[in-house]
Amino acid sequence: MDAVIEFAQGPLFRVTFGIMILGLIRLVVLDLINAVEAYRRAGDKSLAWTAAITKTVSWLFPLKRAFTQRPVYSVISIVFHIGLILVPIFLLAHIQLWEAGLGISWWSLPHFWADLLTITTIVTGAALFFGRIGQRSAQALSRTQDYLWPILLIIPFVTGYICANTVVGPATYQLSMLVHLLSAELIFVLIPFTKIAHCVLMPLSQFIITLAWKFPARVDDKICTTLKKKGAPV
């Protein structure tokens, strides 16, 4: 068991974390390449930068917008995202591992807040899952991954909480730790290839859609040629 945990903590972590980072960099780079090409082709290069920045910031910190529609869902979703982002990055136990491995460290969450955010993430994650099952409009849109993600995301939080806060036998501890590691690593690998890619792509959205409405100049002729419609009536 120890050897398996060590493997999951060491080589497997490095590989999966690397896949996530490289995968996310790839997505951002692809988006930027597409955007540069679109900008080059755009007939009108004046972009409403200020509006795009304002909208991006307002959705990154959706305090105003969120509560005008579906306030309950909005609060749940926001609380879920806060824990999901803060706990893995700012948990003292995680930072200590970074320090031991790479010698780097940063500010950590006080123990109380780390615990509280872990619990709120678990509770809101479960709420999102049941909300998706129970709501007609969400059901109609949901794919398999949409149901699975909230569950998968709270597994490392539940197991992490068990390891950090409860008095359990060594076997349970080891099992929890292993599940904690493996589920987190599965998440790392899946992030760049699923909807969770929005963690890095979402801040680019407003720029992409602003640019998307700037069409290339004079495409009528080109499309007609490709579709063999030249000279055809309207």
Using the minimum distance from each CB to another protein, give the nearer residue, 75 or 116.
75
* Secondary structure string (H, E, C) spanning the chain: CHHHHHHHHCHHHHHHHHHHHHHHHHHHHHHHHHHHHHHHHECCCCCCHHHHHHHHHHHHCCCCHHHCCCHHHHHHHHHHHHHHHHHHHHCHHHHHHHHHHHCCCCCCCCHHHHHHHHHHHHHHHHHHHHHHHHCHHHHHHCCHHHHHHHHHHHHHHHHHHHHHHCCCCHHHHHHHHHHHHHHHHHHHHHHHHCHHHHHHHHHHHHHHHHHHCCCECCCHHHHHHHCCCCCCCC
Residue closer to another protein (CB basis): 34 or 166: 34
Q: Of the two residues 166 and 226, which places its CB atom closer to another protein in the complex?
A: 226
Binding site for another protein (CB under 8 A): 27, 30-31, 34-35, 37-38, 41-46, 48, 51, 55-56, 59, 62, 65, 69-70, 73, 77, 135-143, 146, 193, 195, 197-198, 201-202, 204-206, 208-209, 211-220, 222-224, 226-227, 233-234
Compare residues 119 and 201 and give the one whose CB is closer to another protein. 201
Question: How near is the Cβ of 21 to another protein at its closest, in Å?
Answer: 17
Nearer Cβ to another protein, position 44 or 99? 44
CB of 127 to another protein, least distance (A): 13
- Min dist. Cβ of residue 113 to another protein (A): 25
Q: Find the shortest distance in angstroms from Cβ 182 to another protein.
A: 24
